[in-house]
Amino acid sequence: MMRYLLEIWKIMSDAIGHFNNDDGWAMASHVALSGIFALFPFVIFGTALASFLGADAFAHTAEHLIFDFWPESVAEPIAREVVRVMTEPRQGLLTVSVLTALFFSSNGVEALRVSLNRAYRVVDKRPWYLTRAQSLVFVFLAVLVFMTISFGLVLAPLVLDLMMQWSPWTDGLIAIIENWRLYIALFVMITGLLFAHLWLPAGRRNFIDVLPGIALTIVAWVAGASMFAAYLQGFANYVSTYAGLASIMIAMIFLYMLAAIFILGGELNASILLRRKEQGRLRA
């Protein structure tokens, strides 16, 4: 037992130590700021593409998938503005403003890539145009996933009504299905983290290699969001400190916390991989 605890201590010490020594806190602020800058361009591009393809429920779906795990006091002001942006009519898909929004939304993906390269301790030697193209593909995929879910939401009420009519014994299952927003948001979160850790940073990792960091990220995100919400309700008084900037400051601090946890997930995976290599050399 002590041996395993010692191994865990060494891995966590290495992960946290590298995070501190290799500008982890600065990278967290970079990811948080890039995330805010990428959010509105993403929803602008997503709304334009969704309108072009006839996915009218995109705005409603995107709002829930992005903000359902945020504390209400953090999400409400930003979600309100995001919905306002998404409900603005778009004249066309291939306009300069929409293409510019696509480019700026990919900057958020680039910030994640840089932070993961630092966390996994690798140097990315791929040409910039390949990494940028990959970031643009990630944005396209995210929008397509959101649209697919929005199409499903249009069909879901019809399916549930049919189930109630023809299979009354499925009441319990229907009650579970009606919590779709939580389950889908969790699925999108896990899938996004998996894609980010496997394909954004340089080098190759398999599914098992990235699971510990993803598990740590999800657990710490949920715990951190709960504690942050409790802190805002019980102690913080950002309104008196930041006046009209209170909402954006609360969101930035919250995103900074999420970004630091995300990078620590990569640091944990890197520490475990390094520890495995060291043990392999000792056995050899």
Helix/strand/coil (H/E/C) assignment for every residue in 262-279:
HHHHHHHHHHHHHHHHHH
Give me the number of domains the chain comprises: 1
Return the closest-CA partner of residue 254 out of 238, 243, 268, 240: 238
Inside any domain, residue 171: yes
Inside any domain, residue 80: yes
Domain of 207, in residue numbers: 9-283
For 25-49, what is each residue's pLDDT tens digit?
Answer: 999 999 999 988 888 888 777 777 7
Inside any domain, residue 67: yes
Dihedral through CA 76, CA 248, CA 110, CA 40, nearest 10? Answer: 50
Identify whether the C-beta of residue 177 lies closer than 8 Å to the C-beta of residue 162: no
217-224's contacts with Cβ under 8 Å and 24+ in sequence apart are: 217/193, 217/261, 217/262, 217/264, 217/265, 218/189, 218/190, 218/193, 220/261, 220/264, 220/265, 221/69, 221/189, 221/258, 221/261, 222/69, 224/257, 224/258, 224/261
- Pick 167 or 258 by higher pLDDT: 258
Mean of the pLDDT values across residues 224-238?
77
Q: What is the pTM of this model?
A: 0.84
CA geometry: angle at 223 spanning 217 and 227, to 5°?
Answer: 135
Inside any domain, residue 146: yes
For 258-270, what is each residue's pLDDT tens digit?
Answer: 999 999 999 999 9
Local confidence band at 54 (pLDDT 50, 70, 90 cut-offs): low
Identify whether the C-beta of residue 188 lies closer than 8 Å to the C-beta of residue 75: no
**Residue 144: how many CB atoms within 10 A of its CB?**
15
Inside any domain, residue 164: yes
Sign of CA dihedral 207, 209, 213, 219: positive
Q: Which residues have a Cβ under 8 Å from the Cβ of 21 and sit 6 or more positions away? A: none
Which residue has 């939401």 as its token pair?
153
Inside any domain, residue 4: no
Inside any domain, residue 2: no
Inside any domain, residue 74: yes
